[in-house]
Structure 1
């Protein structure tokens, strides 16, 4: 019984670090739409480590440069290759809910999606056990990746 209680308490105290990135190919607009869900406190820790400044995301005290810092952090830590070629994405914006920050990105001018390489180093510079889950949808095809500090990149083909 004591061992069971100890196991439960240690499980509850153990923090987990995860982000979720949803990628969807929209054939009608010929674009790849990307949404990243990151826990706000974890994102703030990464941004503060990178910039040395407090962010206060989603509050009336939010750093006036927060969006620019988020954009740069994503550019440095999240990359894509479409059909074997590196591509740039546009930072559409961010939205902050109760405990998570959603970041919206878009890659335009994509006529077809045959393969996608994702490199996600989100928060791995701050948390050793960070997991970055990536869900990719193109038409009826759905695939998922689990990326981490040890395995930051993977490729899917359609």
Structure 2
């Protein structure tokens, strides 16, 4: 894990030096197992301006996220997009998930998703396919962190490699 963090810093540092000339496209998703709720609980952080651009280009919706003029259609289109681009498999089978909602934090949207009724005793694998924003930005990187029990694993998913799996 430490070596992954060091690698990410080394990869990100040169990119940050040129932020005025080139924007960096990244999302961060955390997948955790809740013993209490017997569910996979997922949060995903995505930049607001990237989602605004996506909604305009893909759905012709001027969403104006996180403003007083936010479109009343924004939530429905965001959920529709998430369901098309964010797929979860549990033990090799597509898992239905509940889109709980979103909140804003500075310049990001935090999405809350839950896969209910997951029995840890029979849990063998969790796979995430994350194609969020890869259809709009070729440089998009979707970082996924798994934490299930004492198992931890992280992936950097890109347009050419959109899936990451944790085997238990």
| TM-score by shorter chain over 0.5 | yes
CA contact (8 A) 2:102 2:112 kept: yes
Which has more radius of gyration?
Answer: 1
Aligned to 1:50: 58
- Tell me which of 108, 128, 133 is aligned to 2:143: 133
Aligned to 2:18: 11
Q: How does 1:15-54 map to 2 (within 5 A)?
A: 15-54=23-62
Cα RMSD (Å) = 1.7
2: distance between equivalents of 1:77 and 1:130?
Answer: 13
TM-score, with normalisation over the residues of structure 1?
0.91
CA contact (8 A) 2:30 2:42 kept: yes
- Tell me which of 139, 145, 157 is aligned to 2:155: 145
Other structure's SS at 2:147 match: strand
Equivalences, count: 152
Cα distance change on mapping 1:139 and 1:9 into 2, 3 Å: closer
Other structure's SS at 2:55 match: helix
Structure 2: gaps (5+ residues): 1-13
Other structure's SS at 1:155 match: strand
Does structure 1 residue 96 correspond to structure 2 residue 104?
yes
2: distance between equivalents of 1:75 and 1:9?
Answer: 31
CA contact (8 A) 1:46 1:125 kept: no
CA contact (8 A) 1:39 1:101 kept: yes
2: distance between equivalents of 1:10 and 1:62?
Answer: 32
Aligned to 2:79: 71
Structure 1: gaps (5+ residues): 1-6
CA contact (8 A) 2:15 2:24 kept: no
CA contact (8 A) 1:131 1:148 kept: yes
